[in-house]
Amino acid sequence: MSNRERAMRLLEAVPDYKIEYVIAYLQGVTAGNEISEKIPNDETIEAMQELENGGGTVFEGTAHDFISAMLEG
């Protein structure tokens, strides 16, 4: 049995009330194949150039510390 056949058989066993979760997952898996999602937007490119030119702020703490600092300021 091929993987596609196994997937189809498993999909047929998914109850209707859970099928939306399967669809959402599959859309997320296949969305990574779109080239537009791999190209940074203008704001990201600008921020990267700022860091490369010695500007910006680099945070070197933990994620928890970063979130705490963001909430304080």
pLDDT at residue 53, rounded to an integer:
93
CA dist., res. 19 & res. 13, Å (int): 10
Q: pTM here?
A: 0.37
| Residues of the chain with confidence (pLDDT) below 70 | 31-37
pLDDT at residue 63, rounded to an integer:
93
pLDDT at residue 49, rounded to an integer:
93
pLDDT at residue 41, rounded to an integer:
87
pLDDT at residue 33, rounded to an integer:
58
| 47 shares a domain with 27 | no
| 47 shares a domain with 32 | no
| Residue range of the domain that includes 21 | 3-37
Report residue 33 as tokens. 């194949």
pLDDT at residue 1, rounded to an integer:
86
CA dist., res. 19 & res. 25, Å (int): 10
Number of domains observed in the structure of the chain: 2
* CB count in 10 Å sphere of residue 14: 13
CA dist., res. 54 & res. 35, Å (int): 30
SS3 (DSSP) at 61: coil
| 50 shares a domain with 68 | yes
